[in-house]
Chain A
Amino acid sequence: MNKKEPFLHKSLLFVGFAGPAVFCFMLVMVIPFIYGIYLTLTSWNGISADKAFVGFENYTAIFQDVQFWNSLGLTILYSAISVVFINVLAFGLAYLVTGGMKGQNFFRAGFFTPNLIGGLVLGYIWQFIFSRAMVSAGNYLNIGFLSTSWLSDPGKALAALIIVSVWQYSGFMMLIYIAGLMSIPKELLEAGIIDGCGKGQSLRYIILPQLNSSFVICLFLSITRCFMTYDLNLSLTNGGPFGSTKMAAMYVYQQAFVSKNYGAGQTEAVVLFLICAAISIAQVYIGKRNEVNA
């Protein structure tokens, strides 16, 4: 584009195009966030009109809150496993339904349907399935490990959370992978076939590199969503059995609103955000370095 544009012209363009979006973003996310940070410097209990300023006390207190770190560790474990399965499954499905086979629209629509149900309700339905439907099926068919509710056992409950997350997000990520797959120039694939590439080699050397940006996007989205899981956690296991599946977001929420330590809870939420942002940015940075320019 033109090199030297007059400053007034630049500002008008910026405000004209990005103005509305930036305005809404600043007012709804940035300013409340700043206020939220201010609240981490108080010992507010969430209710009283009195918000005593305590400086960085809440931040130093985090290091002694063992339960917070436990829930963080659990969240990382859960996120790592889920992200891998989500993306592998999403990519696999996308690959299968973009070959030009009959009925692929039908399959695509089908795999996307989990996204039609939101947050809490999704969890309630699956909780119903795990603790009622599966148990009754397990008892009827005499299958041992299905006869007791998976949600009564810590390990199985975590597995249940992972399964539902994968079920929920893979359809969405599949969409992104499909778009990525369809935008690979046909010439590249044809050139590969002419050069004698089999399906497997085609996949490894042509398709996967081209999908780099899709991977970056999907990884980013799945990491942030899994890290911040709350709705599903609440409705599927409610942190149970006996608090063994309480993820970081739920722990932080309870600190703020149930234990009435709003200042402390908010501080932990901010720390959680920082950790999540750091991980995501690292991942995006690494991904961008591998990018193949189209």
Chain B
Amino acid sequence: MKKIKLSYIGLALAVTVMMFAGCGKVTDGNENSSAAQSQQEVKEDKEDKEEEVSITLLNTKSELVEQFETMAKQYKEQTGVNIETVFTSDVVSTHLAEKYASGNTYTIMMVDRPDVYDFQEYLLDLSDEKWVPDGGSAYGVTIEGKIYSFPMLIEAVGLLYNAQVIEDITGKEFVWSDYNTIDKFRALLDELVQGGLENPVAINKEDWSLANHFFGQLYNQQGNSAEGSQKFIDSLKEGNTKLADDKRFNSLMDSFDLLADYNINKADPLSAEYDMNNTCFAEGDVAFWFNGSWATEVYEKTDKIGMMPLPQSDAAEGVNDKLISGASKTLVIDKQYTTEDQQQAAKDFLNWLVYDEAGQSFMVDDCSIIPAFANINKEVAAPLSVSAQKFIQNQATEFWYQTIPGDHGTEVGAMLQKYLSGGIDREQLASEVESYWAKQK
């Protein structure tokens, strides 16, 4: 009997000791957090030659996880600064909200443009950085005259095409500008159908794709400028725009209907998962996929992949020749919980990306990023990015309005899903979108 009692206590003690031993070893790994409070940890730091600076970087692109880790090692050898890269697939703003609430955040964070506005009070002002005139002011986020973000990469939204599949059927080389009106495009689709490709188009079902990318074109194509888009949004909020009568709205929905007609998932459009469409596109089951330049796994069968603007019936402002693009992911530096050394190290890192050969090579060659900076002359390798880059280099781009509200994806996305599956008609869609905007402050 006594043995039982002793063994229980013994076990509990052993475990408690184990616990503290276990967490003791890890305290060393905690050096990157709120530096002001962790003086003790800095003392226990093993690598204490001089004051070695350590910064953390939050990466939110799962395709780039390995590249960032390799780069961090390289950067350490080159400059002696330790960058710890962390990846999360959680929604960035929620993740960062938790981090800031817990007083422990990253030095550099890769966020989406709207996040810069939300977190602005915690971010470092980068207006005086060297790279601002080289692309920072054009592509970064400016709030009240100050620049808070470093445009990490440029992405484009539009119609992806699998030139190989098209050429196999039409027998001639595919040049996108030959089909940049809705009628020529429709004719091509018919030709593909007759050639055996029963449903040449893939449409995503995901709410962010339908609402933020496809429907977002409505906000983007308003004078090709931030002011133009903002004016349009403001008039929606005030209820001054009747979408059902709006030319751009109808033009976009005409194209949407066209794509939906030839949709490979027509029988059940809401089951069309991104991965499924990706595979269909890569394997040549469809020729066109409305998506963006970030699709990296589409080269399984052919390299002849490119992208083009969505052909529309209303060609005002040259929308049929301009590809919507913008800096979607940006880097920001925290000023709330970092030391001056860390902030400087972070700024140095950004400069390294833009001006150092190794940094440029990391962005363009390793990550296949289309850079936002005019001084970088490297050519990106991935065919989709090459295709998008041509538009950018020819100044044939359309503004990408990215400061839509956080719930635009879920709310308007739901409405578009209803439309896609035939639940509501165009007029109802118009009025539902209008009520959404009327609710926004």
- Residues of A at the B interface (CB closer than 8 Å) are 45-49, 131, 135, 147-149, 151-152, 239-243, 254, 257-260
User: How far apart are A262's CB and chain B's nearest CB, in angstroms?
Assistant: 8
Show the binding face of B for A, using Cβ within 8 Å: 91, 93-94, 96-97, 100-101, 118-119, 121-122, 207, 267-271, 273, 405-407, 410-411, 413-415, 417-418, 421, 423
Question: Which residue of A135, A242, A257 has the most chain B CB atoms within 10 A of its CB atom?
Answer: A242
Partner of A148, one of B118, B271, B273, B423: B271
Name the residue on B nearest A259 (C-beta): B407
Whether the Cβ atoms of A241 and B421 lie closer than 8 Å is yes
User: B415: which A residues are within 8 A, CB to CB?
Assistant: 242
Q: Are B414 and A151 touching (Cβ within 8 A)?
A: no
Which A residues touch B405, using CB under 8 A? 259
Q: Contacts A49-B121, A239-B410, A240-B414 given: A151-B270 contact, CB under 8 Å?
A: yes
Alpha-carbon separation in the docked complex, A258 to B409 (Å): 10
In contact, A131 and B271 (Cβ under 8 angstroms): yes
Closest beta carbon of chain A to B80's beta carbon, Å: 34
Contact of A259 among B122, B269, B406 (CB under 8 A): B406
Nearest B-chain residue to A148, judged by Cβ? B268
B271 touches A257 (CB 8 A): no
Cβ-defined contact, B271 with A260, below 8 A: no
Q: A47 to B96, alpha carbons, bound, how many Å?
A: 8
Chain B residues lying within 8 Å of A45, measured Cβ to Cβ, are 118
List chain B residues, Cβ under 8 A from A148: 267-268, 271
Overall SS of chain A's interface: loop
Q: Known contacts A47-B97, A241-B417, A242-B423: does B271 contact A135 (CB below 8 Å)?
A: yes
Complex: how many Å from CA A242 to CA B269? 12
CB < 8 Å neighbour of B100 from A47, A147, A149, A241: A47
Which residues from chain A contact B118 at a C-beta distance below 8 Å?
Answer: 45, 47, 260
Residues of B within 8 A of A147 (CB): 267-268
Find out whether the CB atom of A240 lies under 8 angstroms from the CB atom of B119: no
7 tightest CB-CB pairs across the interface, nearest first? A149-B271, A242-B414, A152-B270, A148-B268, A243-B414, A242-B417, A257-B94
Closest chain-A Cβ to B6's Cβ sits at a distance in Å of: 18
Q: Shortest Cβ distance from A20 into chain B, in angstroms?
A: 10
Smallest CB gap from A257: residue in B: B94
| A152 x B406 contact (CB < 8 A) | no
**Are A240 and B270 in contact (CB-based, < 8 A)?**
yes
How many A-B residue pairs have C-beta atoms within 8 angstroms? Tell me. 67
Does the CB pair A258–B407 fall under 8 Å?
yes
With both chains docked as a complex, state the minimum distance between the C-beta of A99 and any C-beta of chain B, in angstroms.
Answer: 34
Q: Which residues of A contact B411 (CB under 8 A)?
A: 243
A241: nearest residue on chain B (CB-CB)? B270
Cα A47 to Cα B93 with chains together (Å): 9
In the complex, given contacts A48-B121, A243-B414, what are 10 additional A-B residue pairs having Cβ atoms less than 8 angstroms apart?
A47-B97, A148-B268, A152-B421, A239-B410, A240-B414, A242-B413, A243-B411, A258-B91, A258-B406, A260-B406
- For A128, the closest partner residue in chain B by CB is B273
**What are 13 A-to-B residue pairs whose CB atoms are below 8 Å?**
A131-B271, A147-B268, A148-B271, A149-B270, A149-B271, A151-B271, A240-B207, A240-B270, A240-B417, A241-B270, A242-B414, A242-B423, A258-B91
Closest Cβ–Cβ distance, residue B199 to chain A (whole Å) = 15
Chain B residues, Cβ within 8 Å of A46: 97, 101
A45 CA to B121 CA in the complex, in Å? 13
Flag if A254 contacts B271 (CB, 8 Å): no
B93 adjacent to A257 (CB under 8 Å): yes
Question: What is the CB-to-nearest-CB distance from B143 to chain A, in angstroms, rounded to a whole number?
Answer: 14
Q: Which residues of B contact A258 (CB under 8 A)?
A: 91, 94, 406-407, 410
In the bound complex, CA of A135 to CA of B417 (Å):
20
The residue in A131, A258, A259 that gathers the most chain B C-beta atoms within 10 A of its C-beta is A258
Distance in angstroms between the alpha carbons of A210 and B259 in the assembled complex: 63
CA distance A49 to B123 in the complex (A): 13
Q: Of residues B91, B94, B96, B119, which shows the largest number of chain A Cβ atoms within 10 Å of its Cβ?
A: B94
CA of A260 to CA of B94, assembled, Å = 9
Task: List the A side residues contacting B97 at CB < 8 Å.
Answer: 46-47, 257
- In Å, the complex CA distance between A243 and B91 comes to 19
* Nearest CB in chain B: distance from A83 CB, A: 28
Kindly state the separation between the CA atoms of A148 and B405 in the bound complex, as whole angstroms: 33
Chain A residue numbers with a CB within 8 Å of B94 are 257-258
In whole angstroms, how far apart are the Cα atoms of A19 and B413 in the complex? 51
